């Protein structure tokens, strides 16, 4: 097959990335039907092959695309490897999965051989560093995406390692990196775990392309164009990809390009990093975004505009494919993430909230894309035919529970809009906020035979929900199991502004309407608000005020989210630079681990083990009025027995581990006194 010249596709993706969906009766060139209706049900629900024996059993001598992932292989549409693999399969491509390979040698990467077209690499549904470490940089005790929740089945910075091993094992085979980890590191970025600015992942991973954002249309286009004889370099004109140019290549120029401060600049100058962040986030609307260029020494990273949002037909196609909704049969232990989502239904993707600490808008896009009611109902009907289904749908939603079918009502305005949030600082008057189609969908789903309950577990956007009494009635009457989780995040106005979140008054109004609607439904139900500690914009005074708010309203949060600066997020820029990237004004930052722990302790002031830490913070900041036995006090004047016991146990642990601050063990060699004025150490 002779390669086609690159120019033959130069105009591709200039106005649309709509997939030419395969015919329901089209016969593929591989001798199996790409149609859902024309293939036997048993064959349809087979998982994609993970071993050479499974490849041979299908009668294949080679694979076209091999997906390498840091997660266990779950054939469920909530997991990237499943949805991407099934979409490629529907287009007639032979796809295999290498899941959680042993990365210290090439052996595990060679198990399925060399793919005919390319390797698709992802760290998994989560960033590998966030998956591995807590906000305090401690190793997590479990991995929800691994069999049995075991840790250690993927490396740190998994995308880098996987790409490097594949390059070592299969020289010359195209490698495309994708997923959250690669997407959020496609340009120079702040890395919390090393506390440094790192260069684009493209340079270290040696991948040919990064396909950023949601990847169904991208991965099919890549496969089709490589299959047609184009080279991987010809794919540089695709939307939704980033690539690296060599020192001898001339970077693109023109009015459609924006050059960001270079890697060297953003590494050395925090103002330059903040400016790069501002420019990057202003170019996220696919209808008006420009190409971003960032120099890294003599090389140049080019990031093309995002792909256009998927239409309803494409969304239905992706989710109507024949998923078994189960882990690969080779796994003997349950996979915790599967247990959580196995009976959930995704109805939409994307989020126009624009919260500065969240990567969903960056990865899935600001424009909401939805499935049709018919597609969702068909999925529910398939679920009810599973003997293991108990009649309870654990969640019906997406990134949020109630943005289904919400979008700008003026397409001409949407095409030029640069606003990062449609709901902050106030809801845009052009945003369609009706919940009517969502309410209709929820009614239809719970009316299906075999469905007993349908819960809403995705976060409810309170500022939108409170505008629609019909939705509030539907939600409280039928879709809440006693408690509804909501993300209030904080009570301090400055912090909420830094987060791009609604005011605490909005939460209080929603709480009031939720209680009224629950009472009308004859149910006693409560909100469970989530809060974040140590977010940029938060100082100790704000955390003390939040603790008072929690005490006044009777909230005792058992689960507290500590802020983790994820690469690419606006809040991560604030944390690193101490600046708001859009105003360049200073932002309060809690960087020292001592301060971060103090903020967390204040949110859980009621826990005995936090008593002494909370007491010290209150005394240090002149809030002795919050210590006492009155109803307004956060903590009592005398420590509870549990606090004393916890303090003693901590001291014993420190002494046993050799970390005790007053250890008298002498070190060999010359003595040293930290406070000495003399430059030389005194010899013993």
Which pLDDT tens digit goes with each residue over 157-175?
999 999 999 999 999 999 9
pLDDT in tens, 437-458: 999 999 999 999 999 999 999 9
556, 548, 535, 352: CA torsion to nearest 10: 80
Q: Dump the DSSP string for 402-457.
A: S-TT--BS-HHHHTT---S-SSSSS--TTB----HHHHHHHHHHHTSTT--EE---
User: Are 423 and 501 contacting, i.e. CB atoms less than 8 angstroms apart?
Assistant: no
Q: What is the mean pLDDT of residues 569-582?
A: 98
64, 65, 66, 67: CA torsion to nearest 10: -160
How many Cα atoms within 13 Å fall on the side-chain side of residue 114?
9
pLDDT in tens, 289-334: 999 999 999 999 999 999 999 999 999 999 999 999 999 999 999 9
pLDDT computed for residue 117 by the predictor: 98
Q: Dump the DSSP string for 100-123.
A: S--TTSSGGGGTT---SSEEEEE-
pLDDT computed for residue 44 by the predictor: 55
For the record, the structure tokens of 653 come out as 């642990």
> Which of helix, strand or coil describes residue 645?
helix
What is the 3-state secondary structure of 133-193?
ECCCCCECCCCCCCHHHCCCCCCCCHHHHHHHHHHHHCCCCCEEEEHHHHHCCCCCEEECC
- How many angstroms separate the CA atoms of 603 and 422, rounded? 30
Residue partners of 317: CB distance under 8 A and separation at least 6? 19, 21, 87, 90
Confidence of residue 648 (pLDDT cuts 50, 70, 90): confident
pLDDT computed for residue 676 by the predictor: 54
Rounded to 5°, the CA angle 18-22-28 comes to: 140
Confidence of residue 16 (pLDDT cuts 50, 70, 90): low
Q: What is the mean pLDDT of residues 621-627?
A: 95
- pTM (2 decimals)? 0.89
Q: What is the mean pLDDT of residues 11-26?
A: 54
Higher pLDDT, 653 or 490: 490
pLDDT computed for residue 362 by the predictor: 87
- How many angstroms separate the CA atoms of 412 and 326, rounded? 43
pLDDT in tens, 238-274: 999 999 999 999 999 999 999 999 999 999 999 999 9
Confidence of residue 419 (pLDDT cuts 50, 70, 90): very high
Confidence of residue 101 (pLDDT cuts 50, 70, 90): very high
Q: What is the mean pLDDT of residues 209-228?
A: 97
User: Are 184 and 567 contacting, i.e. CB atoms less than 8 angstroms apart?
Assistant: yes
User: Are 93 and 152 contacting, i.e. CB atoms less than 8 angstroms apart?
Assistant: no
Confidence of residue 23 (pLDDT cuts 50, 70, 90): low
- How many angstroms separate the CA atoms of 476 and 471, rounded? 8
Buried b (16+ CB within 10 A) or exposed e, 457-481: bbbbbbbbbbebeebbbbbbeebbe
Residue partners of 575: CB distance under 8 A and separation at least 6? 190, 192, 536, 563, 565, 589, 591
- How many angstroms separate the CA atoms of 609 and 60, rounded? 60
pLDDT computed for residue 653 by the predictor: 76
pLDDT computed for residue 31 by the predictor: 31
What percent of the chain lies above the pLDDT cut of 70?
90
Rounded to 5°, the CA angle 177-179-181 comes to: 90
> Domains along the chain?
24-243 (3.40.50.2300), 343-479 (3.30.750.210), 485-495+506-594 (3.30.750), 605-658 (no CATH)
pLDDT at residue 684 tops 60: no
pLDDT in tens, 504-558: 999 999 999 999 999 999 999 999 999 999 999 999 999 999 999 999 999 998 8
Confidence of residue 42 (pLDDT cuts 50, 70, 90): very low
Q: Which residues pair with 295 in a beta bridge?
A: 300
């Amino acid at each position: 097959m002779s390669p086609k010249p690159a120019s033959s596709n130069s105009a591709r993706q200039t106005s649309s990335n709509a997939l030419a969906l395969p015919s329901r009766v089209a016969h593929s060139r591989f001798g199996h039907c790409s149609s859902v209706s024309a293939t036997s049900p048993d064959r349809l629900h087979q998982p994609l092959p993970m071993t050479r024996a499974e490849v041979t059993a299908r009668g294949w001598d080679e694979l076209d695309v091999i997906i390498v992932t840091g997660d266990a292989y779950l054939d469920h549409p909530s997991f990237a490897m499943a949805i991407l693999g099934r979409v490629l399969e529907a287009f007639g491509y032979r796809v295999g999965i290498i899941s959680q390979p042993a990365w210290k040698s090439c052996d595990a990467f060679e198990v399925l051989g060399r793919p005919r077209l390319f390797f698709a690499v992802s760290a998994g549904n989560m960033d590998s560093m966030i998956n591995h470490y807590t906000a305090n940089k401690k190793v997590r005790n479990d991995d929800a995406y691994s069999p049995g929740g075991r840790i250690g089945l993927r490396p740190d910075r998994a995308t880098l390692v996987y790409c490097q091993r594949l390059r070592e094992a299969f020289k010359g085979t195209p490698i495309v990196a994708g997923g959250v980890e690669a997407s959020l590191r496609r340009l120079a970025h702040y890395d919390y775990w090393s506390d440094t600015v790192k260069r684009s992942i493209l340079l270290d991973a040696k991948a040919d392309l990064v396909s950023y954002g949601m990847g169904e249309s991208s991965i099919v286009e890549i496969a089709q164009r490589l299959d047609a004889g184009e080279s991987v370099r010809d794919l540089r004109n695709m939307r939704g990809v980033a690539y690296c140019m060599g020192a001898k290549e001339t970077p693109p120029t023109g009015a459609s390009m924006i050059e960001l401060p270079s890697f060297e600049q953003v590494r050395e100058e925090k103002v330059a990093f903040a400016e790069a962040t501002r420019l990057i986030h202003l170019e996220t609307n696919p209808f008006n975004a420009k190409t971003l260029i960032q120099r890294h020494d003599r090389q140049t990273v080019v990031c093309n505009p995002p792909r256009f949002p998927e239409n309803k037909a494409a969304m239905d196609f992706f989710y109507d494919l024949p998923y078994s909704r189960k882990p690969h049969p080779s796994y003997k232990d349950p996979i915790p993430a599967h247990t959580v989502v196995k009976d959930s239904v995704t109805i939409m993707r994307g989020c126009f909230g624009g919260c500065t600490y969240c990567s969903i808008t960056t990865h899935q896009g600001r424009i909401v894309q939805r499935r049709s009611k018919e597609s969702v109902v068909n999925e529910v009907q398939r679920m009810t035919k599973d003997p293991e289904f108990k009649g309870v749908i654990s969640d019906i939603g997406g990134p949020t529970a109630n943005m289904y079918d919400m979008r700008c009502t003026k397409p001409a305005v949407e095409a030029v809009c640069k606003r990062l949030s449609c709901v902050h600082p106030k809801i845009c008057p052009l945003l369609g906020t009706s919940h009517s189609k969502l309410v209709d969908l929820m009614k239809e789903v719970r009316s299906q035979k075999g469905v007993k309950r349908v819960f809403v577990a995705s976060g409810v956007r309170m500022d939108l929900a409170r505008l629609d009494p019909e939705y509030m009635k539907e939600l409280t009457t039928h879709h809440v199991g006693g408690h509804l989780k909501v993300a209030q995040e904080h009570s301090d106005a400055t912090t909420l502004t830094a987060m791009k979140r609604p005011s605490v008054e909005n939460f209080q109004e929603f709480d009031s309407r939720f209680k009224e609607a629950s009472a009308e439904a004859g149910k006693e139900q409560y909100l469970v608000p989530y809060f974040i500690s140590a977010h940029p914009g938060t100082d100790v005074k704000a955390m003390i005020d939040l603790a008072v708010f929690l005490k006044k309203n009777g909230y005792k949060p058992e689960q507290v989210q500590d802020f983790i600066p994820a690469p690419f997020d606006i809040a991560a820029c604030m944390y690193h630079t101490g600046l708001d990237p859009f105003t360049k004004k200073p932002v309060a930052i809690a960087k020292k681990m001592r301060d971060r722990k103090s903020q967390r302790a204040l949110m859980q002031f009621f826990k005995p083990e936090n008593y002494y830490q909370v007491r010290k913070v209150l005394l240090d900041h002149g809030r002795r009025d919050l210590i006492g036995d009155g109803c307004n006090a956060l903590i009592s004047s005398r420590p509870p027995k549990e606090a004393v016991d916890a303090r003693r146990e901590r001291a014993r642990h420190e002494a046993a581990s050799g970390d005790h601050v007053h250890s008298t063990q002498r070190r060999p060699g010359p003595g040293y006194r930290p406070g000495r004025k003399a430059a030389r150490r005194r010899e013993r």
